[in-house]
Amino acid sequence: MKEYELTVLIHPDLEVDIETPLKKVRDLVTTNGGNIISEDNWGKKRLAYTIKKEDFAVYVYFDISLPSDAPLKISNTLNITDEVLRYLLVTVDEKGRQALAEAKLSESTRDVNERE
């Protein structure tokens, strides 16, 4: 199974009952054989441009692992889901993730050295 990052923009009117559309997304991932590694709700944010006559959306980020045939099925389903304004499903760049971890580590050690 390969790791993916899924960012979903949910209709802003559903912010009050956000669990319902999130349950749909979670079920979609698990029924296609995937696992949700982590989930992060970024909250309601202004969009850079209007999407489906909306200026705001609720951003939710998922780290998931999926079998090879699942991304196409998930994309096809999210395309026709009314609650989802937009989504982005991309593979995880391991080199980039590792570089970020190393940068954070060097920054934290530099902060410790500066305090001393």
8 Å CB contact between 101 and 12: no
Q: How many domains does the chain have?
A: 1
Domain of residue 84, residue span:
2-115
Residue 110 has pLDDT above 80, yes or no: no
Tens of pLDDT along 73-101? Answer: 999 999 998 999 999 999 988 887 788 78
**pLDDT, tens digit (0-9, with 9 covering 90-100), for 5-25:** 999 999 999 888 999 999 999
CATH code of residue 28: 3.30.70.60
Beta-carbon contacts of residue 81 (< 8 Å; ≥ 6 apart):
21, 24
- The C-alpha atoms of residue 5 and residue 24 are separated, in whole angstroms, by 17
Give 18-61 pLDDT, tens digit per residue: 999 999 999 999 999 999 999 999 999 999 999 999 999 999 99
Residue 56: other Cβ atoms inside 10 A: 17
Q: Which two tokens stand for residue 69?
A: 């045939």
Task: Give the bridge partners for 59, in sequence order.
Answer: 9, 43
Q: What is the pTM of this model?
A: 0.80
